Chains A and B, each alone.
Chain A
Amino acid sequence: MMVQSQWMTKFFITNGFPQRLSFCLFFAILTSCNPTEITSSGQRSNTSYANGELTNMAYIYRDSPYILEGAQYSLNANMKGSVDESMPEFITNKNQLKGDCTLSLFNSISNIDHTISDCLQSYASKSASQQILPRKSDGTWIFPTNSSEFYQVNGHYHVQKGINTFFEKLKFAYDTIHFNPSFQMNRKSIPYYLDETGLFWFQAVTPSNDNFFRNSFLTSYNLCNLELNAQFSPAGPELCFGKWSAHPNFFFIQDPSIIYHELGHALIAVMMNMRNGTPGADPHPLRSNLSSYGYDESGSIGEGVADYYSFVMNKRTHFGEWALGRSVNASRPISEDDKLHISAVNETSEGRLSYPQYILYDPNNPNVPLEDVHYAGQIISHYLVALTKEFQNQCNLPSASAHDISTSYVMLLLAETFSELGDLRSVGFDITSSIPASPSVSFSNLDSTASYMWSQVVNPPTYRNFSQILSKNILKYISSGLCPNFTKNESEQLLDDYGLLLFKTYNNDGSSTKDKTIQVSSTGTVPASVLSSPTAIHENNRRKTVLVSKELLSLSETTTDSDVATYYIIDDQKNMSGILQNLLFKGYPMNLSTGTASVEYNNANIKISPGEIVGIVPNLYNESNSTISGVHLLANDWDHVHITDETGVNGNFSPCKIDDTTTLAQGAIQGQTCSTTMANFKRHVKTSGSFAAEAAAPICLVQLETDDVAKWVSQNEFRKKQGLSLQDKDCLGYSSTTTDEDFTFNPHECLVRVLPGANKAFYSKIDPQKSYVETMRNGNPDHAFGPGNAIIFEVNKWIPPGTKFRCRMRAKFSNCSDCFSDSSDITNDDYIDREYNGSKPFKIINFEFEVND
């Protein structure tokens, strides 16, 4: 190819005009019978395929019409001018539009191919009558431009190309971390046994009938019935590329950057679950993902990395120009040098798209704050592109392959990071190359039983822990091996340019999740006498990133002059039904109570009334002079009570004294089980017929008035002592029959309960000396909030009006100075996972209310 190119160039340079003209005429004659010819019937001529040169091939568009034909290209796209007719591309050698996944891995002697047949299958739409496209009788995949078949073939080509590139990067990552002598003594998260489990794809785990997934192939629906939308559904798994009804020839599949972005979500799902199966054992029944139902940093990381994958594939630092930009003016930059940015954004340290300053920044509409994962994810995509450029500049890479190698470095870091973050077996890494670490001790996500809850609810991926683990891997693989020129200091400074130097150490001491004195090195558990400390960051590198104490986060005080409320109640039927319906559609079912609470009782009086299902937006206030960002509010059960019942019959408890709000005089107690934090997570429900002596209790206490003393007690105690005599069947969440007890029933949330699936809320940022609502409204009282901002409660219809509740929520945030380590620990080592059962990492937010009609 190179030789041909040189010959042609030489010909044109050395020959005069007549020779050039004759050559062009000759070339034109040749092209007149080339295989791209369209016959009058609209079908390509078959005659020229007779020699079989185009067997299994097709002509494709390499980018969107916006890129290939200009920004003003008609919305009535016919793609004719976009198709590259100079070079046909291989589509598949199968009879149907399917492709294989082949990952070649080094095994210390040679490369071994691991192939999953038919790992990709492409269709037009999800219609039940839809058949998979067969190869044409002439052996090619060349269909009329703009036809359904044409888009199926093009979609298949780009998805397969993205998959092949991913496997090339994964091979590099695997071979490097397992066989590069520099890294042999490292703890590794990408498993050595990846080939045996098949978890480099959505693969069936041996034996073949034991599927993680219903299908071990990814289905791509290229002309999906989605209006101006695209999606990745891991439960398929499937990709879906939408359309624009107003312009019948406008399809998302016409924009390869969208294809690579959606595939990026799928690849994240693969990387997050690479550790969730080991050879010869069943995989963990659940799967990790980066997503949620509203705004959060986990979803934002997912969007940022998916945008980055578009850059990996097409080298362009802008995303979605056609599908998002040409349609609703919503394309996104992936680098600060993009002209869409405001002038303050540039590639200097000061001009980087930093956190949290740009967390609500929509470059298409920069004056209106927008809390959305796609725009917040720009910080991550920009950081990853900047990191790639640093590797290109500092790692002495050959210029011809600089993009390929530098993106391979970043994909190695991402694969290591995601496989650790998503580990539901809770091991986190392997200590030797060939043996999965013993699951008897956990090093991530608490333990294999509670790991899903830890990795998705209690301590999910945030900008802090993502940056911390990614940086740990930079230190381990880049600065200490692949590219020593990119030093620890430079890594920290680049991260700080993005406001992401949110941690004090790399948390790389290998502490277990339940006992800080159990550590593991690359060769195994280390004796307690030689425990190591985590590597600290150089504090001088923290110039832009600001950390704030959790003590400066509180609930707002209601004021009339600035229209600030302590919390906002959503109790009108329309909004509340909408939130519940939206959460279900997003995959968060809630097991609503039957007969004791319902939106039918919602009376829209902005009070909490018996029988209602209400959404609460606690209006958190930032007392500091810096922005607080990534606020994660938890309303799940936690270890904050001492169980006083020793019989196991009723499980009644007293609240632990954890702050100055619930005092000893009000029923709080100290010592006993309040002085320790549970190692395991267990809700306060019956186990084998009786309540345990220690468990995580629901957050809401109720005030019991006896003998002129008001005490905060468990709801189970209240319902029996306050003359209510509420039976179990009158409690929230009750669904037992007369013969079989429902093990999930918790009488300690009989009166008020937080709905499972809506027991956490996330807030992007709170400006200094402002509340969250003030920050988001930014002067606009009509600002709309998302379902992820609300905690949802059921209120029992039998509650006597006037009953008072105190719910102990817990808040932490990503730029918190004292949420992640103990101030008395001079090493600043991160809290181990068991501490997230208790109060230490959190600011307690006491949400109090009285139930009234």
Chain B
Amino acid sequence: MIKKKYFVLIISFAIILFLLWKKDGSLVKNSIVDQIKEGKVDSIKTPYKTDLKKKAIHEPKAFVNVPSKNWEQKLKQSLRAQAGDSQLSIEIKKEKSIIWTKDENPLKVESVVVKLTNRQNVQSSFRALVDPQTGKVLESWDQTIFDPANVKENFSFKLDSRYNQ
């Protein structure tokens, strides 16, 4: 009977040890704290964390993206690829870091304002949520609304004349 008690105690102790090891070990590495410790994620400076009284729209979980230090460069490269030689300048101004969920993936994203100046020296701007891992734009909004006097001068294209033959 005593032996049986010792056996149960030893088994219980072993289970507790195992659970503790699992908690601190490499099997569970998804928490933000762990990722911050590993340097994969910067400490979170968003209002979601700084003001605990406030309720975040999306509570932070383990992020699936790993921010790159040169995300702004990647973003600019991507915008340049689309712009070709049409823009005199592309300015990116970071507004804030936020936590965002897309396709059920929790992400650390950057909210930026992009300002474009074209070859006619006309400016436009928009906001974008950017994946700081790839520099990809996840959403864009707040686009400029133009009200030209002559709307016929807006960009347009003609269909290929071979379709008419």
Contacts and interface: CB of A to CB of B under 8 A. Distances in A.
B35 to A, nearest CB: 12
Contacts of B134: 735-736, 742, 744
A372 B58 CA distance: 39
Contacts of B51: 207, 210
A825 interface: no
Contact of B133 (A579, A586, A742): A742
B2 interface: no
A606 B142 contact: no
The CB with the most chain B CB atoms within 10 A, among A683, A743, A757, is that of A743
A330 B121 contact: no
B104 A225 contact: no
B163 A231 contact: no
B82 A589 contact: yes
Contacts of B111: 285
Nearest to B163: A565
B31 interface: no
B100 to A, nearest CB: 7
B164 A781 contact: yes
Contact of A784 (B66, B125, B157): B157
Given A235-B142, A744-B136, A606 B121 contact: no
B155 A589 contact: no
Interface string A751-778: 0000011000000000000000100000
Interface string B45-73: 00110010111111000001110000000
B86 A229 contact: no
Contacts of B158: 782-785
B105 A589 contact: no
B20 interface: no
B112 to A, nearest CB: 10
The CB with the most chain A CB atoms within 10 A, among B142, B147, B152, B159, is that of B147
Interface of A is mostly: loop
B156 interface: yes
Nearest to A221: B123
B151 interface: yes
Chain B: interface size category: 35 or more
A372 B164 contact: no
Interface in A447-492: 448-449, 452, 456
Interface stretch (A566-574, A709-717, A838-846): A566-574
Contact of B82 (A236, A330, A592): A592
Given A280-B55, A785-B159, A261 B124 contact: no
A799 B158 CA distance: 28
Interface in B84-123: 84, 86-87, 93, 95-96, 98, 100-105, 107, 111, 113-116, 118, 120-123
B148 A280 contact: no
Contacts of A323: 149
A604 B48 CA distance: 51
A588 B79 CA distance: 10
A430 interface: no
B155 to A, nearest CB: 4
Given A214-B93, A591-B78, A773-B159, A285 B57 contact: yes
Contacts of A580: 82, 84
A449 B144 contact: no
Contacts of B146: 229-231
A233 B66 contact: no
Interface stretch (A18-26, A149-157, A286-294, A346-354): A286-294
A227 interface: yes
Interface string B10-27: 000000000000000000
A552 to B, nearest CB: 24
A394 B42 CA distance: 63
Contacts of A570: 157, 159-160
Contact of B142 (A226, A262, A289, A565): A289
19 contacts: A210-B51, A232-B145, A233-B145, A234-B143, A258-B147, A282-B48, A285-B111, A303-B147, A374-B151, A582-B155, A585-B116, A585-B124, A586-B143, A587-B124, A587-B142, A588-B143, A740-B66, A743-B107, A787-B156
Given A568-B160, A579-B157, 13 more contacts: A211-B96, A227-B122, A232-B147, A452-B141, A456-B141, A568-B159, A589-B78, A606-B160, A606-B163, A742-B134, A744-B102, A785-B156, A785-B159
